[in-house]
Amino acid sequence: MAGGDSNKGADEGADSYADDRNLKDMRIIAQTNLKLIAYTTSRLHASMLGMFSEVRMRLPNMILCELTRKSVKRAVKIGVNGNRIKDFILQHAHPVRRIFF
């Protein structure tokens, strides 16, 4: 039994490491029509995007979202202001699109 428990801990550690790596790998392309294309496999980033945008489609490694009046109002109600949204998008901006901000 003890051997099985140690393997379980190692597997959990590997999963958390993969999640940490995925957090650093997220890239967002923000379009001028307020649509966001996020390249990520992290469920945490998907949840974070859902706090301030409407998720339109989820694919295995990409999330398509849209900033709407309703989604931004919802974010403000839970304490996420416009500067935090902007900073999140800029922090995770895809290198190709970073020059436009």
Predicted local distance difference test score (pLDDT) of residue 37:
95
pLDDT at 13 over 80: no
Rounded distance between C-alpha atoms, residue 9 and residue 80, angstroms: 35
Write down the pTM of the prediction. Answer: 0.69
Mean residue pLDDT of the chain comes to 79
pLDDT at 62 over 90: yes
Of 65 and 97, the one with more pLDDT: 65
CA dist list (Å): 47 to 10, 27, 42: 26, 15, 9
Nearest C-alpha neighbor of 38 from the set 66, 80, 14, 6: 66
The mean pLDDT value for 31-35 works out to 93
pLDDT at 35 over 90: yes
Rounded distance between C-alpha atoms, residue 52 and residue 72, angstroms: 5
